[in-house]
């Protein structure tokens, strides 16, 4: 298990837990919930923000939020 | 008898809700504001069938009913208030076929308010390309409502939607989620305290207070005792509600929605690889910016010259056709030039909104936000500040309004505060005339000095915006953590109809809003320049004639002396003279002083003011430029020389001279503190810089 901001580029993972009460509700509404699949599609220059695919949604968030989202990488199939 | 019904269009951003609205209403739409706030209120009308007419309200895009911005809370407030005249008889939730799961979250919330709710699945033309199959009948059964597949691009499904809206009373209003399943204890307590109320509505009233703003609650029972729970507990419940809703939606979609990924052809990753590339991404963005500026400042010069000439002709024509007198003077020297000063901006504003709406419609704007966020954050701005900063080159008013989707209050405030430094189109006429007066029209290595100066002024404005942002970033305290979430929508071809309607609507409202002020000021100025107190003004002719009686002076020169004497003693002349000591160190005389005062209402009034002042002074047919070039100081040297010209340009680059911007900042920040900070600090900076420039260059 590792924080989302340390996930490798292109890697798929499953959201395990969210380690803060301050995660914006909007993010949860967009599908950022434990159990959902997440993948890191792009990282902007200077390594921030992160472009993610969560479930079916494509969105970008900043590292400062991403580090509270714990994920478990999926083995490549 | 024709029956009128209220329909509300609700949906996530990027679902094509506006396209559906446009398809239903066409040009029968009106844009206004919700009372007291500057959230845009769009409504239109539509004939559903022979006997039914619908009044359609296009509500601001929202991801859920848990509002986190002013735009979103408008939706909640309307849907909770049955007595609102806009309260819908039937709600239409517009969703995007590719993001159905996420879009259904909002749908279930609206349905739970016990309003008849129709589900529109938009962009259904994408289904074969994306390998999506939907079992519509089953979906209708499971969601307990009517479902319509719509494609505004192919114009399909809209007529069916109209038919369903006519039949709205037959739509079930049974809720989807039982609030008790979120937290039995909490909701049982709630229903005991308010036995006859809808639990979900109560819950919304309680949580909206936690999240954002106070709802108008005369109609809603007092729920204070249920707020004794800690905020973080309520937030946990909100999260649990979201999870519950997703569980329900997942179960439903498993039976009704199928995607065959092998059939899906994805344009997204190909375009993303290029458009957010570490190197090419920035180059492309730069080229797009270059094109926008090219359009605003080069392509629009053709229609602008035409408009300029037309208004000059109109003025002349009116002068010859109407009997001489005060009314004619007011029209030809006040009203017509004033109107011309507004209409001339239409090409630039239209071009800017054309580009912005195309960039937004295609989904490219989100990529720019992604690319620019890290860089701009160093200065306390956000990636989302890019749109306001670009819009600011046309006009600060739409730019300030465009800051609304910046979630973080501090980043939003800083963006609002620095936007007026970007060179808006109102500064352009000022720069144009001053540059043509003081900068030689020569080339060096093929580069035109005048163009170079103009570019320099744009750069100075932009640098000043960045510099003051980073200063503000140090001193402003941030009350909450940064919540930066940007949806990266799919790429789409822009719909011509949507783009055209946006351009039309934005341009129209600019002309009307800015127009009122500019017109009023032009008329006021004309009055103040044409009348004056006391003997000096009313007896100007005798005084001047007497003064020059012993000197050899011809008729025309005498006329001119009389006119300038009158102007000096008019109300505006007295005003200008009184501030002259203050502005002399900047290299300005009292006439420029008048122009400075009047352009605190709006910058573009500068040229119009000088035009009014000089045309009141002389009747000869000269252009403003040649009159300005002919102005001399008491020692006979040119008034508009290099030092004064540069000093004036710098003053206009930095000073906060726009009442409308101050008004919109007050509205958006809900306090006079910030617009006043802008007014004073920007004007002081402008004064100091102009002072230094003149003292060094003179």
Interchain contact B246–A (C-beta under 8 A): yes
Chain B residue numbers touching A58 (CB-CB < 8 A): 268, 487-490
What six digits make up the tokens of B676?
Answer: 């006043």
* Residue B248 confidence (pLDDT): 92
What six digits make up the tokens of B333?
Answer: 């020297």
- Chain position carrying tokens 């329909």: B7
* Residue B36 confidence (pLDDT): 57
* Residue B529 confidence (pLDDT): 80
Q: Cβ–Cβ of A60/B488 closer than 8 Å?
A: yes
Residue B177's domain comprises 1-264
* Residue B467 confidence (pLDDT): 94
Please indicate, yes or no, whether residues B409 and B507 belong to a single structural domain of this protein: no
Where is the domain boundary, B217, B239, B264?
B264
Asked whether B112 and B155 are in contact (CB, 8 A), the reply is no
Q: Cβ–Cβ of A33/B242 closer than 8 Å?
A: yes
Please indicate, yes or no, whether residues B186 and B288 belong to a single structural domain of this protein: no
Mutation pick from B370, B373, B479 vs chain A, by most beta carbons of A within 10 Å, is B370
Please indicate, yes or no, whether residues B566 and B503 belong to a single structural domain of this protein: yes
Please indicate, yes or no, whether residues B194 and B159 belong to a single structural domain of this protein: yes
* Residue B84 confidence (pLDDT): 85
Q: In terms of CA atoms, which chain B residue is nearest residue A47? A: B374
| B106, part of any domain | yes
* Residue B310 confidence (pLDDT): 87
Q: A76 to chain B, minimum CA–CA distance in Å? A: 18
Please indicate, yes or no, whether residues B240 and B349 belong to a single structural domain of this protein: no
Nearest to B40 by CA among B551, B465, B506: B506
Asked whether B654 and B682 are in contact (CB, 8 A), the reply is yes
**What is the count of structural domains for chain A?**
1
Residue A64's domain comprises 2-73
Please indicate, yes or no, whether residues B437 and B344 belong to a single structural domain of this protein: yes
Please indicate, yes or no, whether residues B502 and B628 belong to a single structural domain of this protein: yes
| B357, part of any domain | yes
* Residue B446 confidence (pLDDT): 74
Please indicate, yes or no, whether residues B73 and B209 belong to a single structural domain of this protein: yes
Interchain contact A19–B (C-beta under 8 A): no
Please indicate, yes or no, whether residues B34 and B109 belong to a single structural domain of this protein: yes
ipTM reported for the complex, 2 dp: 0.94
Mutation pick from A33, A60, A77 vs chain B, by most beta carbons of B within 10 Å, is A60
Interchain contact A57–B (C-beta under 8 A): yes
| B145, part of any domain | yes
- Rounded to 5 degrees, φ, ψ at B69 are -145, 170
**What is the count of structural domains for chain B?**
3
Q: What is the pLDDT of residues B32-46, one digit of tens each?
A: 666 656 577 888 999
Chain A residue numbers touching B268 (CB-CB < 8 A): 58
Buried b (16+ CB within 10 A) or exposed e, B95-128: bbbbbbbbbbbbbbbbbbbebbbbbbbbbbbbbe
Q: What is the pLDDT of residues B190-214, one digit of tens each?
A: 888 887 778 888 888 888 765 545 5
Interchain contact B105–A (C-beta under 8 A): yes
Q: How far is CA B436 from the centre of its chain?
A: 31
* CB neighbour class for B308 (10 Å; exposed up to 12, middle 13-18, buried from 19): middle
* Residue B222 confidence (pLDDT): 59
Q: What is the pLDDT of residues B245-288, one digit of tens each?
A: 999 999 999 999 998 876 666 788 889 999 999 999 999 998 99
* Residue B199 confidence (pLDDT): 86
CATH number of the domain within which A37 lies: 2.30.30.90
Q: Cβ–Cβ of A49/B370 closer than 8 Å?
A: yes
Interchain contact B27–A (C-beta under 8 A): no
Please indicate, yes or no, whether residues B463 and B567 belong to a single structural domain of this protein: no
Interchain contact A43–B (C-beta under 8 A): no
* Residue B218 confidence (pLDDT): 47
| B527, part of any domain | yes
Asked whether B112 and B175 are in contact (CB, 8 A), the reply is yes
Q: B572 to chain A, minimum CA–CA distance in Å? A: 55
What are the strands, taking DSSP E only, across B51-159?
Answer: 52-58, 90-96, 117-122, 132-134, 147-149
Nearest to B98 by CA among B52, B130, B120, B72: B130
Q: B232 to chain A, minimum CA–CA distance in Å? A: 7
Supply the pTM of this predicted model.
0.79
Interchain contact A54–B (C-beta under 8 A): no
**Regions of chain B short of the pLDDT cut 70:** 32-38, 209-229, 262-265, 297, 479-482, 514, 517-518, 612, 615-624
Please indicate, yes or no, whether residues B592 and B685 belong to a single structural domain of this protein: yes
| B421, part of any domain | yes
- Rounded to 5 degrees, φ, ψ at B330 are -60, -45
* CB neighbour class for B648 (10 Å; exposed up to 12, middle 13-18, buried from 19): buried
Chain A residue numbers touching B235 (CB-CB < 8 A): 21, 25
| B128, part of any domain | yes
Please indicate, yes or no, whether residues B212 and B307 belong to a single structural domain of this protein: no
């Amino acid at each position: 298990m590792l924080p989302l901001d340390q996930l490798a580029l292109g890697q798929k993972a499953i959201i395990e837990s969210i380690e803060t009460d301050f995660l914006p509700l909007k993010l949860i509404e967009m599908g950022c919930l434990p159990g959902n699949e997440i993948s890191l599609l792009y990282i902007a220059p200077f390594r921030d923000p992160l472009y993610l695919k969560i479930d079916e949604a494509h969105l970008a968030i900043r590292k400062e939020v991403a580090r509270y989202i714990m994920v478990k990488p999926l083995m490549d199939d | 008898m024709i029956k009128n019904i209220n329909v509300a269009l609700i949906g996530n951003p990027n679902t094509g809700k506006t396209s559906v609205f446009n398809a239903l209403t066409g040009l029968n739409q009106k844009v206004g504001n919700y009372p007291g706030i500057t959230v845009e209120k769009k409504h239109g009308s539509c004939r559903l069938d022979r006997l039914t007419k619908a009044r359609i309200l296009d509500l601001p895009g929202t991801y859920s009913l848990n509002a986190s911005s002013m735009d979103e809370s408008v939706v909640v407030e309307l849907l909770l208030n049955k007595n609102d005249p806009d309260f819908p008889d039937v709600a239409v939730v517009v969703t995007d076929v590719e993001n159905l799961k996420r879009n259904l979250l909002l749908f279930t919330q609206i349905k739970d308010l016990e309003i008849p709710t129709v589900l529109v699945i938009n962009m259904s033309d994408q289904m074969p390309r994306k390998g999506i199959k939907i079992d519509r009948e089953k979906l209708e059964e499971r969601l307990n409502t009517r479902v319509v597949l719509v494609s505004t691009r192919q114009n399909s499904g809209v007529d069916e939607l109209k038919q369903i809206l006519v039949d709205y009373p037959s739509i079930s209003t049974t809720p989807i989620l039982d609030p008790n399943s979120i937290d039995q204890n909490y909701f049982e307590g709630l229903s005991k305290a308010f036995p006859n109320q809808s639990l979900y509505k109560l819950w919304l009233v309680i949580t909206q207070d936690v999240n954002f703003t106070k709802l108008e609650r005369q109609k809603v029972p007092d729920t204070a005792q249920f707020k004794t729970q800690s905020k973080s507990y309520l937030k946990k419940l909100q999260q649990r509600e979201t999870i519950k809703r997703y569980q329900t939606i997942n179960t439903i979609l498993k039976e009704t929605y199928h995607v065959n990924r092998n059939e899906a052809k994805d344009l997204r990753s190909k375009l993303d690889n290029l458009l957010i590339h570490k190197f090419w991404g920035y180059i492309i963005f730069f080229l797009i910016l270059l094109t926008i500026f090219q359009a605003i400042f080069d392509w629009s010069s053709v229609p602008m010259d035409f408009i300029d000439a037309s208004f000059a002709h109109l003025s002349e024509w009116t002068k010859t056709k109407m009997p001489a007198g005060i009314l004619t003077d007011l029209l030809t020297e006040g009203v017509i030039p004033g109107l011309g000063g507004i209409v001339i901006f239409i090409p630039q504003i239209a071009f800017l909104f054309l580009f912005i709406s195309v960039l937004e419609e295609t989904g490219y704007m989100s990529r720019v936000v992604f690319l620019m966020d890290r860089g701009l954050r160093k200065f306390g701005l956000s990636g989302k500040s890019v749109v306001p900063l670009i819009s600011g080159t046309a006009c600060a008013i739409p730019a300030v309004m465009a800051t609304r989707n910046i979630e973080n209050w501090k980043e939003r405030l800083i963006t609002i505060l620095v936007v007026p430094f970007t060179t808006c189109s109102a500064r352009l006429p000022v720069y144009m005339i001053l540059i043509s007066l003081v900068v030689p029209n020569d080339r060096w290595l093929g580069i035109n000095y005048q163009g170079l100066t103009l570019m320099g002024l744009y750069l100075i404005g932009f640098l000043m915006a960045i510099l003051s942002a980073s200063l503000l970033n140090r001193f402003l305290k941030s009350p909450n953590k940064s919540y930066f979430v940007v949806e990266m929508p799919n790429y789409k071809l822009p719909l011509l109809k949507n783009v055209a309607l946006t351009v039309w609507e934005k341009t129209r409202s600019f002309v009307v809003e800015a127009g009122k002020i500019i017109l009023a000021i032009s008329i006021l100025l004309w009055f103040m320049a044409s009348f004056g107190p006391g003997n000096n003004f009313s007896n100007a002719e005798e005084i001047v004639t007497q003064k020059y009686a012993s000197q050899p002076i011809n008729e025309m020169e005498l006329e001119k002396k009389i006119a300038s004497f009158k102007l000096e003693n008019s109300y505006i002349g007295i005003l200008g003279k009184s501030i002259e000591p203050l502005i002399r160190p900047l290299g300005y005389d009292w006439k420029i002083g008048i122009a400075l005062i009047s352009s605190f209402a709006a910058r573009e009034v500068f040229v119009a003011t000088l035009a009014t002042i000089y045309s009141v002074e002389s009747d000869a047919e000269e252009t403003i430029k040649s009159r300005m070039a002919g102005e001399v100081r008491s020692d006979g040297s040119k008034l508009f020389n290099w030092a004064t010209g540069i000093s004036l340009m710098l003053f206009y680059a930095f000073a906060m001279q726009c009442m409308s911007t101050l008004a919109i900042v007050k509205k958006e920040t809900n306090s006079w503190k910030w617009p006043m900070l802008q007014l004073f600090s920007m004007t002081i900076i402008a004064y100091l810089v102009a002072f230094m420039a003149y003292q060094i260059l003179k």
